[in-house]
Structure 1
């Protein structure tokens, strides 16, 4: 369920970054902040469980960052 949600956010951010690069920064930061909160909350579990619970949020945050950057990079490569 969480994978589908993060994938949907990544697709929306990539499209938004391609169509409006400057306007995509704020939603990207908001998504990363939300995932960071989840990562910190999951990391409070003791020991090994903390790493396991926080990992999906950390990898999701990285995916959000990469998709936004990819959309802006693709827009920058257009000839017009």
Structure 2
């Protein structure tokens, strides 16, 4: 699973990329990010899952911390 956080001044984007074998971990990390902050997510792909989460910087950082914490468990 790979996390990529980009701060674009007013808007931050978090990209979570994983393969088919990490499907459950990917969904748990995305759910944790969405529950912790009020952000927008777009998911695509079957074998390579890619989710782009975007929102204000403070909420994006909160989502990033929640997703990495959940993926580490």
Instruction: Please give the TM-score of this superposition, normalised by the length of structure 2.
Output: 0.36
Task: Name which one, 1 or 2, has greater alpha-carbon Rg.
Answer: 1
Higher helix share: 1
The TM-score with structure 1 as length reference comes to: 0.34
User: By percentage of residues, which structure has more strand?
Assistant: 2
Larger RCO, structure (CA 8 Å, separation 6 or more): 1
